[in-house]
Chain A
Amino acid sequence: MFLNSVVIVLREVLEAAVLVSALLALARTVHLGQRWLWLALPLAAIGVALYASFLAVITDALDGAGQEVLNASLQAGVYLLLLPILVLACSAEGRRQWLTLLMTLAITCAIVRECAEIHIYVRAFAALGEHAAAVWAGSALGMGIGISAGVLVYGALRAVPQRWALPACCATLALIGAGMIMQATMLLEQVDWLPDQAPLWDSSTLLSEQSFVGELLYAVLGYEATPGPLQVSLYVGCLLLAGIALWWGSTGRAKHAVLD
């Protein structure tokens, strides 16, 4: 039970922690502060509690597709919020309230998506009494390792030379966002809203998704050992769109600089 709790909590925390770390590094780079994080945490806590309380209703909604559609919407929401975040972060001055608002919403969506499952697991299995200590201790350790991995990502992004700091943060966020879109499509395949296609390749023997490196790459790059053509094309499309957002933001900044 202890080891199982470590694994479950680590897997979920890792994804949220990596996104929080990349956004923290971005905020530091553009001197935004951390107000968005302190706003997002209580919002996410409310979201997680609501999600867990209404999961039975959510699951049965939309002819049994509710859980997947909500999860896919939260993940797609993170990507769609990251696009204007990239534009605003690159266009520097002004619109700080918008950046704060968008980052608050993105983190809230990510934490609700990833942490609702932890809440459901811990609440159910810690209540069994005999395993309570193992569940709590394992969960705490899993959370600790996940947050440490996030600190590692933050440290790596902050270690990038100043000139490349902003592009590095933006590229990391684009990869995380594209990975989330890819995961969202798989959820929609699960309820037959999208057709399930034969995988283009199988790299599970090279790098298992269940290994720690596989999980970390899943969190950062959306690593998937057996992606279908739809996933690969959406992933590439999302990265291209993020690239356009970055380019648009930075040319806006160039114009702004000229006008000044």
Chain B
Amino acid sequence: MSSFCRYLSVTLCLLVVNAAQAATPVIELEIRDHLFIPEEISIPANTKVKLVVYNRDATPEEFESYELNREKVILGGNKANIFIGPLAPGVYPFFGEFNPRTAQGRVVVE
């Protein structure tokens, strides 16, 4: 009986973890010619979101945001996962630290 209970609880835990992961919306964006495409992404308020950033350039870039407290180096031709949120409504700018003049974007939380 106890082993059954353990099995059940482990299964339930896995289900919860899977459900939590499945429920996290994924938003993809690209870095191309030192620009973020799209440069604006909208996400719902109070929701955790997984950003998948593809760097299509040959050079590395660093995804950086003071407002989101995020920083991650993405090598040329590679991708990176960055979780953001849950966030309050507002505009949260981000930029590419290696090319800040062109690589600018924002997360709009509504």
Interface residues of A (CB under 8 A from B): 4, 8, 55-56, 59, 64-65, 67-68, 117, 120-121, 124-125, 128, 186, 189-192, 196, 198, 204, 208-210, 224-226
Knowing A59-B78, A190-B83 touch, does A120 contact B73 (C-beta < 8 A)?
yes
User: B15 on the interface (CB 8 Å rule)?
Assistant: no
User: In the complex, what residue of chain B is closest to A228 when comparing beta carbons?
Assistant: B69
Partner of B81, one of A8, A64, A121, A225: A64
Taking the nearest CB of chain B, how far is it from the CB of A142, in angstroms? Answer: 13
Question: CB distance A67 to B72 under 8 Å?
Answer: yes
Partner of B69, one of A4, A117, A121, A226: A226
* A/B interface sample: 17 pairs, CB < 8 A: A4-B98, A4-B99, A56-B78, A59-B74, A59-B80, A64-B80, A67-B80, A117-B73, A120-B75, A121-B60, A124-B60, A190-B69, A190-B70, A190-B82, A192-B50, A198-B88, A209-B66
Interface SS of B by simple majority: loop
Question: CB distance B60 to A196 under 8 Å?
Answer: no
Report the bound CA distance from A120 to B59 in whole Å: 9
Chain B hits for A8, CB < 8 A: 97-98
Taking the nearest CB of chain A, how far is it from the CB of B60, in angstroms? Answer: 5
Knowing A124-B59, A125-B59, A196-B83 touch, does A55 contact B73 (C-beta < 8 A)?
yes
In the A-B complex, the 10 residue pairs with the closest CB atoms:
A64-B81, A192-B83, A124-B59, A186-B69, A209-B66, A124-B60, A56-B75, A120-B60, A190-B70, A56-B78
